[in-house]
Amino acid sequence: MSLQGFSVKLSRQILIAAGTIYAIILAIASWKHVFWRDETQAWLLARDSHSPLSLVHNVRYEGTPPLWHFVLYFISHFTLNPGWMKIPNYIFSVAAAALIFSATKLPLWVRFGFVFSYFILFEYAVIDRDYMIGVLLLLATLTIFKNDRSDFRISIALSLAALTSLPALVVAVCLYPVHLAPVISQWDISKPGRWLRALSPKKTLTLIFFSACVLASLAIIRPPDGASTFLGHGQWVKLLRVMKFSNFTEAYLPAPDSFYFWNSSFFSLLGRFASTIVGFVLAVTLCFWLRCKQAKYFFIITSSLLMGEMAVTKMFAMRHVGWLFIVFLLSVIIQSEDDFRHTSPETSQTSAWRSAFLAGILIVQVGTGIFAIILSLRHPFSPSKQLTIFLQQQHLDHSPIVFLPDYIGGAVLAYLQRPTAYSTERRTQSSFMIWDKVEMRPHELPTKQELFLAAENGTNPVLITEGPLTNRQMSDLGMKFVAKFDGALNASDHYFVYK
């Protein structure tokens, strides 16, 4: 066997070993993961939608396209156990890791760094949301489908990505011109007949199909009349919020500030100004780091649009800013293809600082990813399952239950496989949240009469709140404190039980 053949075989064995390690770590972490309310909101919505059309109608209040909900719809109509929701996201995550490993133009250490980064290893893989399916489809367009001359599979992948989440929709719209670049380069504005011939019937049909999926996603994302809006209709967005460069800091250097690592940032301890400066330096450096025009323009335009999208929706949690890192991952893959085709003295001269810069980012990403996995194996992500077990042990799981506010109960309802709980906001039984004006009103403590509307067959309700009640409030409601559940990695989840 030649030296080159031995090297290829060794690299393949290393990749198989790394992929196996990733799959095993993720399997254990996913099995241990305890759902929180945002994950089970999608599950309850899919479970309690009576038809695909009903599902689309209900998703309109979510501010997201429906593809992930359709995946859960078919699963939830075979089983009521929400644990099955982990399987598709696990498959999407392992497949995404395999696609990154298959990017042969990237050095092995770069592929390892991206696969074991915080977002690919934990945030989008362990936490079951609609993000990893979009990441998978976007990666597919730059890896397995890149040589598809018919353009059909690329168009399908980007169209489906646009149906997964709002950030994936933004990235897909920006990635489509990269896919069309070979065609656009043949266009001559002075000769319209020539560029019309370059845009073949197949490319035209796939472009129409992609445009239809984008428009359908936008139509679903836009909240109905009377609904609470995630899109800030009629509001001017402050420029400072659009140019929030601390998003880059959190996305590229997601080092946590405490044990409760989720949605936290070490740089917040240094102050907002320091985090903004670090993010600005990162953004500018990355613009110079990318030499390929396609990669550079894609990175700048897509990152800018994502920052604008986050500013308008007012969503800056780690799962949202992480899409800036996904854009970087895609840009690096585009760059690697260009580096493979064009090598020059400039490439070798700048490779040292570029490698060091990339290594610094990936070291922080991998370190944070491993830190998150270790903590998630030692501590529950949410106390929702612990509360569920307590209710079952105390034989309270079949009693009337009131959650205050309503939205804290999603994970508990899913684990109990219970159809509904009583909503004091709507004065009726409900399961998933409908984010309309009723739900978005300030949550006030119900009166004793309002609370006991939930009583069934003479059985008084169990009240579960997000914060503790005062002695005066317990006296007014005729309730006694029973138990408290908190201390999980998701520091926003707290449960106080009263009976």
Q: Over its length of 499 residues, how does the chain's per-residue pLDDT go in tens digits?
A: 555 555 567 678 888 999 999 999 999 999 999 999 999 999 999 999 999 999 998 898 888 999 999 999 999 999 999 999 999 999 999 999 999 999 888 999 999 999 999 999 999 999 999 999 999 999 999 988 776 655 778 888 999 999 999 999 999 999 988 876 654 444 444 554 555 555 666 777 888 888 899 999 998 887 776 555 444 444 555 655 667 888 899 999 998 888 788 888 888 777 778 888 898 999 999 999 998 888 999 999 999 999 988 888 888 889 999 999 999 999 999 998 776 666 554 444 457 888 999 999 999 999 999 999 999 999 999 999 999 999 999 999 888 999 998 999 999 999 999 999 988 888 888 888 888 777 767 777 888 888 888 887 777 899 999 999 999 999 989 899 999 998 888 888 899 999 9
Task: Report d(CA 47, CA 486) in Å as an integer.
Answer: 27
Using an 8 Å Cβ cutoff, are 43 and 72 in contact? yes
In whole angstroms, how far apart are CA 1 and each of 7, 14, 359? Answer: 10, 18, 33
The DSSP line for 31-67 is HH----HHHHHHHHHHHT-SSHHHHHHHHTTTTS-SH
Using an 8 Å Cβ cutoff, are 119 and 326 in contact? yes
> In degrees to the nearest 10, what's the CA dihedral of 149, 154, 156, 161?
180
Task: Report d(CA 142, CA 176) in Å as an integer.
Answer: 11
Using an 8 Å Cβ cutoff, are 345 and 272 in contact? no
Task: Provide the 10 A C-beta neighbour count for residue 338.
Answer: 16
pTM, full prediction: 0.91
Q: Which residue has the tokens 């353009």?
A: 151
Q: What is the pLDDT of residue 352?
A: 84
Phi and psi (nearest 5°) for 193? -60, -35
Helix and strand counts by DSSP (H, E) for the chain: 22, 6
Task: Report d(CA 406, CA 421) in Å as an integer.
Answer: 9
Q: What is the pLDDT of residue 179?
A: 72
Q: What is the pLDDT of residue 234?
A: 44
Task: Report d(CA 45, CA 66) in Å as an integer.
Answer: 11
Domain ranges of the chain: 11-378, 384-498
Using an 8 Å Cβ cutoff, are 408 and 37 in contact? yes
User: CA neighbours within 13 Å on the CB side: how many for 181?
Assistant: 12
Angle separating helix axes 152-161 and 166-184, nearest 10 degrees: 160
Q: Across the strands, what pairs with 481?
A: 498
Q: What is the pLDDT of residue 199?
A: 60
- Give the chain's radius of gyration (CA, Å): 25
The DSSP line for 235-296 is -PPPHHHHT-THHHHHHH----SSSS-TT--GGGGG-HHHHHHHHHHHHHHHHHH--SHHHH
Nearest to 315 by CA among 455, 170, 432, 472: 170
Q: Which residue has the tokens 């390690």?
A: 21
